[in-house]
Amino acid sequence: MGYNVMDMQTQLQELAALPKDAPYGLSGAFYTDPDYFEWEKKTILHNGWHCLGRADEIPNVGDFYTLNLLGEPIIIVRSTTDTVQVLSNVCRHRGMPVALGSGNAKRFVCTYHAWTYGLDGDLLRSARMKNAGFDAEKCGLPEINSVVWNGFIYATLNDDPVAFAETLNELDNLISTYEPEKYRLVHSASEVWHTNWKCLVENFMEGYHLSVVHPQTLHGYTPTGLSRKGPSGAGFTSYFANYPDQASPRGHGAAGLSDEERRRSTLFAAFPTQVCSVAASLLVSLSLFPLAADQVEVRWTLSTYGDDLDADTLESRVALWNEVNREDREKLELMQAALSSKYATGGPLAEDDYEGTVRDFQTWLAEQAQLTA
C-alpha cells in the first residue's frame, strides 16, 4: 500500500506543531512506506551531512575505505598527511568502481581498462586514449564535499550544501571538553539491521528504554531514572545518561572535564544519521546508512581516550557494546514488523528527560521537509 507523501508531510507539520507538553510520535507509515523513504533519499538524506567514520581509521597517506552513501559508491582516502578526501568511486571511463573494500593505495587503478587516478582523484594515466575529444584533466574522480570535525569524517551528496558548521557549532560547545579528536580507534564493525533508520536514531537518543531493554548491560551505570535532556540546536539533539552516585569512576579522560562530565555519558545525534555516546574514556559512534524503508547499514566505531583503560577493559567494553547493540536490534526488528499495522498511529511521548530528543528529531524532520517543499 502506498501512502501519499504530501499527506504525510501535512501530518508531520501538524505533529511538530503540537504543544510542547503533548507530543506524539510519528505514525508507522513514516518508518515503513517505500515512497516516503524515496522522498527522504532525494531530500533530507541527500542534503544532510553524514558521519562516515573516524579520521584515525585511515592514519597513513594512501589509507582508504569504501562505502555506499545513499546509493553512491564513495572512497574515503587520506590523500596527504593532513587531508582526508571523499571521492566518487565510479571510473570516469565506463563506470567501474576503482577501489574495493579498504586498504592502502599509492594510486587507484581501475581493474577494467587500467585508468589510473591519484589519491586526490586526478586522472594520471589512460593508455591508448588518442581521440581528439578526450581531455584527461576533465576525467578526474569527482570530489564529494567533506569535512573532518572532532575526529569524525562527514560528507554530503549535496553539491551546494548548508555549511557544516552552521548545523553543529553549538554541539561543539557540548562535547569539545571531552577532546573527541584525541580518542583513538579500538574497534569498528558493520552490520545490516532490519529497521528504519529513524527508529534507530530515536532509540539511541532516548533514555526511556535503558533500564527495560538493557537491565544487565546498561541499567547499572545509566538507569532510565537518571536520564536528563541536554541541549539541542539547528542540527542536533542530546541527552545525559548520568551514572548513579555509588558507581565507580570509569576513567579520567581529558584534563578539562568537570566531575559532572566524568559521571555521565553524553549522547548526541548529529542529524540525520549519526548517533554517538561520549564519556570520559570511551566514545561510541554509530553511522547509519539507510538502504530501504526497513533496512539500514550500521557502521559503528568504539574509541578510547588516552591510556585510562587497559586492553582487557577495552575488550570487555567492546563485548558490552556488542551486547547493547544486539539488545536494541532485537527490539527494533520486532517493532519494524509491527509498524506496518494500521493501528500504528503514533503514540504519546514521555516528558523531555526521557523522550524530548525524539521530539527534537521530529521538529528537525519537519523543518527539513519545509525547506525542501
**Long-range contacts of residues 127-136, Cβ cutoff 8 Å, at least 24 apart:** none
Choose, by CB under 5 A, the member of 179, 294, 328, 352 that binds Fe ion.
Answer: 328
For residue 89, the 8-state DSSP code is -
By the 8 A CB rule, do 11 and 27 touch?
yes
Residue 94, contacted partner among ligand FES, Fe ion, none, CB below 5-8 A by kind: ligand FES
In the bound complex, what is the minimum distance in angstroms from residue 209's beta carbon to Fe ion? 6
Which does residue 328 bind out of ligand FES, Fe ion, none, counting CB within 5 to 8 angstroms by kind?
Answer: Fe ion
Q: Is 22 exposed, middle or buried (0-12, 13-18, 19+ CB in 10 A)?
A: exposed
Q: Of the two residues 112 and 134, which places its CB atom closer to ligand FES in the complex?
A: 112
Q: Are 191 and 296 in contact (CB under 8 A)?
A: no
Provide the minimum distance between the beta carbon of 45 and ligand FES in the complex, in angstroms, as a whole number: 28
Residue 298 binds which one of Fe ion, ligand FES, none, with CB within 5 to 8 A depending on kind?
Answer: none
353 binds, among Fe ion, ligand FES, none (CB under 5 to 8 A by kind): none
279 binds, among ligand FES, Fe ion, none (CB under 5 to 8 A by kind): none
Helix (H) or strand (E) holding 327: helix 311-338
User: Can you give the binding site for ligand FES, defined by CB under 6 A?
Assistant: 91, 93-96, 110, 112-113, 115
How many C-beta atoms surround the C-beta of residue 183 within 10 A?
26
What are residue 71's phi and psi, to 5 degrees? Answer: 90, -10
CB of 138 to ligand FES, least distance (A): 15
Q: Are 47 and 78 in contact (CB under 8 A)?
A: no
3-state secondary structure of 264: strand
Nearest to ligand FES of 72, 308 (CB atom)? 72
Helices (H), 93-177: 164-175
Q: What sign does the dihedral 215-216-218-223 (CA atoms) show?
A: positive
For residue 115, what is its C-alpha cell? 585508468
Which of 118/220 has CB closer to ligand FES? 118
Q: Residue 96: which of Fe ion, ligand FES, none does it interact with, CB under 5 to 8 A by kind?
A: ligand FES
Q: 113: exposed, middle or buried (C-beta count within 10 Å: 0-12, 13-18, 19+)?
A: middle
Tell me which of Fe ion, ligand FES, none is bound by residue 352, counting a contact when its beta carbon lies within the kind-specific cut-off of 5 to 8 angstroms: none
Start-to-end CA distance of the chain, whole Å, equals: 23
Whose Cβ is closer to Fe ion: residue 41's or residue 194's?
194
Instruction: Give long-range contacts, CB 8 A cutoff, 24+ apart: 207-216.
Output: 207/239, 207/241, 207/267, 207/353, 207/354, 208/350, 208/354, 208/355, 209/331, 210/241, 213/327, 213/328, 213/331, 214/324, 214/327, 216/323
Residue 42 vs 94, nearer CB to ligand FES: 94
Residue 234 touches which member of ligand FES, Fe ion, none, C-beta under 5-8 Å by kind: none
Nearer to ligand FES, 92 or 262 (CB): 92
Binding mask 284-323 for Fe ion (x = CB under 5 A): ----------------------------------------
Q: Nearest approach, Cβ of 337 to Fe ion (angstroms)? A: 19
- Least separation in angstroms between CB 90 and ligand FES: 9
Cβ closest to ligand FES, residue 12 vs residue 110: 110
- Is 288 within 8 Å of 300 (Cβ atoms)? no
Size of the site for Fe ion (CB under 5 A): 1
For Fe ion, give the closer residue by CB, 41 or 331: 331
CB of 357 to ligand FES, least distance (A): 45
CB of 30 or CB of 115, closer to ligand FES: 115
We find the least distance from the C-beta atom of residue 328 to Fe ion, in angstroms, to be: 4
Q: Contact residues for Fe ion (CB under 5 A)?
A: 328
